[in-house]
Structure 1
Amino acid sequence: MNTDTIHVFLSHGLESGPGGTKIQALKASAETFADVRAHAIDHRSSRDPAVRLAQMQDAIAASGAAPENIILAGSSMGGWVCAQTSEQTPVLGCFLLAPALALPDYPQSSPGILARHVQIIHGWDDDIVPPMPVIELARQQELPVLMLPDGHRLAKSLGRVIGEFRAFLLRAGIKETDTGQK
């Protein structure tokens, strides 16, 4: 295994799947970078956050990826999975879309997000995960939050989200694939 390989683990939301629009767009974007392996985790077998967290941990263990070479990207419940994973094992990056944080029904709903690079993107009009508790959690942890005029799915902002993800990967030091074109 190439020890320089960056592993991007993608975690979908409760009502979505690994083939969903956002996850597939993030995966396709990640795969344009050099030495990146993207893993879209399939959480559809359980609606339980703790089970999904275990699925993420199993996928990471199976990959053999070192924490310093891991980027976690998740949407909604998948954002909670990524944040919680980073609290247990600090990673290179955590990219969270409308993360299900600070919700009363989730275990450990306000994890300490431990990653060298973090970006949270949330919609002002999110009616599933209220933005203000997420903003407050980010403020407490001094994490960057980008608020967009969009709802929970960030459907109107997909192009912007993918652009932010590419910029995030570059900030994390991941190199773009050299196409040889000038």
Structure 2
Amino acid sequence: GTNIYTVNNKDFSGASISKVDISNGSSLTTNMSTINTGCGTSCLRDGKINYQISGDTELYEWDPVLMPSSGISIGFSENFYELVTDEVNNYLYASSTDWASYGFINIYNSDNIFSGSFSCGVSPGTIVFDTRSTSVGITNITSQKILEGTIYDMFGRKLNSLEGQSEGIYLVDGEKVYIPKR
């Protein structure tokens, strides 16, 4: 589509949702009538915006086609830090944390039924899915000539040398090399 949607905190006394049409630069903002604080987290899911009010435990759904002044509660009872939809299976991944001792990701199917969870770091603020095909990536480069004289770290960054690098696995001339703790 040609629209970008933003969920806005305004001045932390309320929230709004803006629709920006990137084809012509026009925008339309809908003030959320039932919100008296800012938005905590949000994501686009099934063509609708899921959002949670800051500090609340309800999750709401807002329809950008109808553009109502409030969302509809969709039956969650937990405060989330981050929301994201897996476009492959349409599952909702929602993180929770106390920012000191735990962090975990809950997984919900397209009917909002809990299907699993896993622990992660204490600040799970970004969830990203690698949806590339298996034929993509540096490990699929087979020509030794291309990789000759090259060094990459595990993030895919090209390095000039291994000197001063921390413990870890590196790709040197196309081969995996482990650098032990010094």
Larger Rg: 2
Name whichever structure is richer in helix by fraction: 1
Fold shared per TM-score above 0.5: no
Q: TM-score, normalised by structure 1?
A: 0.30
Name whichever structure is richer in strand by fraction: 2
Q: TM-score, normalised by structure 2?
A: 0.30
Q: Which has the higher contact order (CA 8 A, sep 6+)?
A: 1
